[in-house]
Every structure is written in structure tokens, then in C-alpha cells.
Amino acid sequence: MSQIASTAWIVSSMLWCAEQHRPRFSYVYLPHLDYAAQKNGPDSPEAMRACEDLDQEIGRLVDGFEKTFAGDALLWLVASEYVITPVDHVTYPNRLLREAGLLQLTTDDDGREVIDFANTPAWAMADHQLSHIFVKDRAQATIGRVVDTFRNTPGIAEVLTADEQQKYEINHTRTGDVVLVSEPESWQAYYWWTDDAAAPKFARTVDIHRKPGYDPVEMHFDPTAMKAGLGPTPLDATLVRGSHGAPTRHESQRGIMLSSQRGVFVEQTLADVDVCEMVLRQFGV
């Protein structure tokens, strides 16, 4: 339910800080663009309107800084956080683990199905176009079964074990024993139930702490559904029309780096971690 008013408040706060403290370096994160793009698709009319709304707030930010720092040469650097790509397919890793006999479930106090995290052989934490699958005791036999389960699965581009995760420099102790990477037009939902009547109550609510993964379906929040005795979040993952996170396979998946002055950086492909050094260089560091 986030609206441009949230971003406008951030811009107003930034302008107040500039007036009060006159910093030599300011950093601000302006949200807003990913909501409509995920909900309705990055090329939807709603996403285009979001761009217009954000553009007005960026203009207000620039005008305010130019007024506060009148006479000073301001350098603006803009980095996109990620690129939303259109999706028309969704994969359910936990349901596939369940079908393979690798997901153990129990019931909550309401008799709804929940994952038995302490005892399940494997479970998936979904995050946009990735899933981290955690295997009990990192059992190699189970890892092998997980890999076999997802090889050639529609919507899944790569199945990465620990040895293969170095390819993307994600071989970390907290990385899943197996990482699933989506095709650009697909994303991954955390759902494990096969009957909506068995879904836990939190599935129909906005609840980031009990859901094992990000749930963009929450953006289809519908307060009127509560009148029918349901939660405000539907249980239809196909409603989501945009996602991100898969490794770049096409230029349309790349983010952008912009500068208000030429020569600040070489106009070539950059990594997000290059931004820090780029900023420090402006101060001779």
C-alpha cells in the first residue's frame, strides 16, 4: 500500500538535513519504483506513472539542494538498485520438495500445514528469482536428491551446489546448500501447501517474519477480503508480473549508473561494489 507520499517524506527529510547540517556528502535511498513494477509489470501504465511521480520528487530534491548550496558545484550520482523484469511464470520449490518426499510438515494450533524446520530433510527460502535450499545436517545424499529434483524444472535456469556457487561469489557459510536460479521470465514463491484451505493463516497476511521468503503477493493487499473471513493477501502467486535477482543474461536486466558530470567514471560495465570507490575518489581518498 506504499504510495509516493512515503518517498516524498524521505525527500523532505533529506532537504531538512541539508539545511540544518550542510553535509559535504549525502546519500539517500528513494523507493517507489519497484512496487508497481512487481505488482503490475515493469512496462505497465502503473509503473510508468510511478516513474513520473518519482521524477517529480527527484526534481524537488535537486531544486532544494541547489537552493541550500547556492554557489557550490554539486555532483549527483545515481545508481539503480536492481532491475525489475517481466515475469509470466512462477516456480514453487517447497511444493516440489514436498512431492519428492524431502519436505516434512507439521500442523500449527489451527490445524494448518507448516514446515517442521527441525526435522525436515530440506526446505527452500525463496527470494524473488532465487531460492536457498537448506539441507538437514548438509547430508550429501539429500543434496543429491535435491539437485535431481530441480534439474530440468520449468522456470529454473541453474541449480547450484556449494562447489558451483563460486561462479557468482555466493559461496558463503549462510548460503543454502543448493541455490536455485530462475529464468528471467520466472520467479519463485515460498508456498508449500497444495490446498489453500491448509495454508497457515499468516500466508494471507502481511507477515515478513513468519514467511520463509519474500512474498510479493502481499502487494495485492485487499482489505475487502477480510469481510469474507479471509486475510487481506490473496494466495495467487500468478498475480505477480515483475521480479528481479536472476543473474544478468540480457542488457535489459542491467541497472544504470548516472553522473551529472562527465569523467567521473569510465563508461563501461560496473559492479555495484565499484560505487564506493567511485564516491571516495571524489574526495581524494
Note the pLDDT tens digit of each residue in 231-279: 888 999 999 999 999 998 888 889 999 999 999 998 888 888 899 999 9
What DSSP letter does each residue of 103-163 carry, written as one string? Answer: --EEE-TTS-EEE-TTT-SEEEEEETTEEEEEEGGG-HHHHHHHHHHHTT-TTEEEEEEGG
3-state DSSP call for residue 239?
helix
Banded pLDDT at 4 (limits 50, 70, 90): very high
- How would residue 185 be classed by pLDDT, with cut points 50, 70 and 90? very high
CA distance readout (Å), 120 to 97, 116, 243: 10, 6, 28
Q: Taking residues 96-117, report their average pLDDT.
A: 97
Assign 197 a pLDDT band (cuts: 50, 70, 90): very high
Q: Record the cell numbers describing residue 37, joined without a space.
A: 513494477
Q: What pLDDT does residue 236 have?
A: 96
What confidence tier does 2 reach under pLDDT thresholds 50, 70, 90?
A: confident
Neighbours of 101 (CB within 10 A): 10
28 near 77, Cβ under 8 Å? no
Residue 228 has pLDDT above 80, yes or no: no
- What letter would DSSP give residue 206? -
| Cα–Cα nearest to 162, from 130, 140, 183, 184 | 140
The H or E element containing residue 40 is helix 33-40
